[in-house]
Amino acid sequence: MRAATPAVTFDSDGVQLLGVLHVPEGAGPHPVAVLFHGFPGNERNFDLAQSLRQAGYASLVFHYRGSWGVGGDWSWANGLDDAARVLRAVRDEEFAAAHRLDPGRVAVVGHSFGGFVALMSAADDPGIAATVSVSGFDFGTVTRGLDPAGRRATVEAFDGELLPLRGTSGEALVAEMEAAGERWSLAVLAPRFAGRNVLLIGTGLDPVTPAEVHHRPLVGAYASARLEHREWPTDHALSDHRAELAGTVRDFLDRAIGGAPR
């Protein structure tokens, strides 16, 4: 059977989420990688999706509520809810059969806010076989360290990224972080990953998720996981490390859940 790239939709609280599924050639069933983009999603990691398809993985890129033309309102919590609904949907028997998917081999791969979503989602879903966080944003750590000046700067930074989004503001997003507090600390999740496959990738030249704040503390915290980790001297989007990123994620997933032979 030929490779295919169908547009797919998922219902999330009455809103249709739009995604693109990259299905490899062959009858399958193929292991699945669900990719979570960041805030607001300027980098959507389609290069990773294509690379993973070449390696035998069905890879899904989708948009959360309130982003990039999708209905509903953007919020951090809505993104988490959307992720959970999509992960249930790709393992639905009818959907999986229609797209040659293996619902028993599902991985999550996220960048920035998406890295946070990947870890939060997998912590609540032991059926996720492997988790990859790239430049993951640790909301709990950021909120814990916000002084008044830092809060104002964060509101302003979020306000500057709202063009592709709807139904939110910098103030609303910071207030949501503050209300969540330690519930959104990634280190707190670590015991739920004991013995599970986790890849953490940090970015050493990154003012958005500096490695000393968002990556290195998690490497120690996740010691009970089957952990692999990297830290590269690159920016938040890994602009000069995209090929290395794709190869590292592919190789990790091959060890964790196994794609098609290459």
Place of tokens 């999603």: 41
Report the pLDDT value the prediction gives residue 258, as an integer from 0 to 100.
85
pLDDT at residue 33 above 90? yes
**pLDDT band for position 259 (50/70/90)?**
low
pLDDT mean over 17-42: 97
What's the total number of domains in the chain? 1
Residue 24 domain flag: yes
Residue 261 domain flag: no
pLDDT at residue 261 above 60? no
Q: pLDDT (tens digit, 9 = 90+) per residue, 68-88?
A: 999 999 999 999 999 999 999
Q: pLDDT (tens digit, 9 = 90+) per residue, 209-237?
A: 999 999 999 999 999 999 999 999 999 99
Residue 108 domain flag: yes
pLDDT mean over 241-249: 98
Looking at every residue in the chain, the average pLDDT score rounds to 97
Residue 144 domain flag: yes
Cβ neighbours for 142, distance < 8 A, ≥ 6 positions apart: 154, 177, 213
Q: Is the pTM here over 0.95, yes or no?
A: yes
Residue 214 domain flag: yes
Residue 178 domain flag: yes
**pLDDT band for position 90 (50/70/90)?**
very high
Q: pLDDT (tens digit, 9 = 90+) per residue, 193-216?
A: 999 999 999 999 999 999 999 999
Which CATH number do you get for residue 185?
3.40.50.1820
Q: pLDDT (tens digit, 9 = 90+) per residue, 95-122?
A: 999 999 999 999 999 999 999 999 999 9
pLDDT at residue 262 above 70? no
Report the pLDDT value the prediction gives residue 68, as an integer from 0 to 100.
97
pLDDT mean over 24-51: 97
Report the pLDDT value the prediction gives residue 260, as an integer from 0 to 100.
53
The residue segments making up the domain with residue 76 are 7-256
Instruction: Measure CA 22 to chain center.
Output: 16
pLDDT at residue 25 above 90? yes
How many residues does this entry show for the chain?
262
Report the pLDDT value the prediction gives residue 44, as an integer from 0 to 100.
94
Yes or no: say if 85 and 11 are a contact pair by the CB < 8 Å rule.
Answer: yes
Residue 29 domain flag: yes
pLDDT mean over 167-175: 98
pLDDT at residue 245 above 70? yes
